[in-house]
Homo-oligomer: A and B are copies of this chain.
Amino acid sequence: MSGPIIVDSVAALRAQIREWRQTGLRVAMVPTMGALHDGHISLVRTALERAERCLVSIFVNPAQFAPTEDLDKYPRQLARDLDRLREAGAHLAFTPTVAEMYPAGFATKISVGGPSSGLETDFRPAFFDGVATVVTKLFLQAAPDCAVFGEKDYQQLCVVRQLCRDLNLPVEIIDAPTVRDSHGLAMSSRNAYLSEAELDVARKLNAVLRQTAAELASGANETSSTSAATDALVRAGFRKVDYVAAREAVTLAPWRRDRDGRLLAAVWLGTTRLIDNVEIPRA
């Protein structure tokens, strides 16, 4: 097949979506920051199961990076991304410039409370404001019927669901499971920063989380289990552990054994920050 249509303006995006909608085609969106890996491709596959047309946005959103973070070194590889989208059968790639998304004088910010409290926000205070603002813009630019988000960024998934509910954004949010390598390491564009030695350590994160979640599900004390998990991660070679925390699965409120739970973690290897999460089955 010939590969996705590529548009970089909101006007061209809307014209194409309108054409599809007029012929009755359902449109699914996969918002990304590019540097596409198998995790993203699985989101595209989910999108194609749910709709006749799949639109993938590729936009490294400055609003969700703090000044100290990796905006400048974040991997950008558009040609390779477009090859992967062609292979996956995506129909449209939306690749706006920063000026198209945030024209001179741009001044609006969306803040979602609830599930954005704590976890990532304790370490990246402006991150979810940036996510909520760009996701709202992308949804209003493209007006998709549904959008697919990965469980890899679990707190983001919860924040986007809350955002759509609160603002009455008429977009169905579909979650897709995290794609992992054969050692359990969650696919992430930031894995590209890791050395071979760091990769060996990174591959231990998911095992520690799975074991801790199993202990919690079997009645272990929450504080001692998450604290033991932090110790185990440091012993495994992670430089720093931002958090290992059990939460209620939908609201991300404090975990309760009688509700579906989620165990979430953020850790550092050198200058690279990795996140992962696993289910805690209810008692």
Residues of A within 8 A of B (CB): 10, 14, 103, 105-114, 132-133, 136-137, 140-141, 143, 162-163, 165-170, 251
Contact = CB atoms under 8 A, between A and B. Distances in A.
Given A108-B132, A110-B109, A114-B105, A140 B166 contact: no
B107 A110 contact: no
Given A140-B169, A167-B136, A167-B137, A251 B111 contact: no
B108 A166 contact: yes
Contacts of A168: 10, 137, 140-141
A112 B108 contact: yes
Instruction: Output the residue of A10, A113, A136 with the most chain B CB within 10 A.
Output: A136
29 contacts: A10-B168, A103-B165, A105-B162, A105-B251, A106-B166, A107-B113, A107-B162, A107-B166, A108-B110, A108-B132, A108-B162, A108-B163, A108-B167, A109-B110, A109-B111, A109-B113, A110-B110, A110-B111, A110-B167, A111-B111, A133-B167, A136-B167, A137-B166, A137-B167, A137-B168, A140-B167, A140-B168, A140-B169, A143-B170
Nearest to A14: B170
Contacts of A105: 114, 162, 251
Contact of A107 (B114, B136, B169): B114
Nearest to A168: B140
A113 B169 CA distance: 22
Instruction: Output the residue of A10, A111, A112, A162 with the most chain B CB within 10 A.
Output: A111
Contacts of A143: 170
A106 B109 CA distance: 17
- In order of increasing CB-CB distance, the 7 nearest A-B pairs are A107-B113, A108-B166, A107-B114, A140-B168, A141-B168, A109-B111, A108-B112
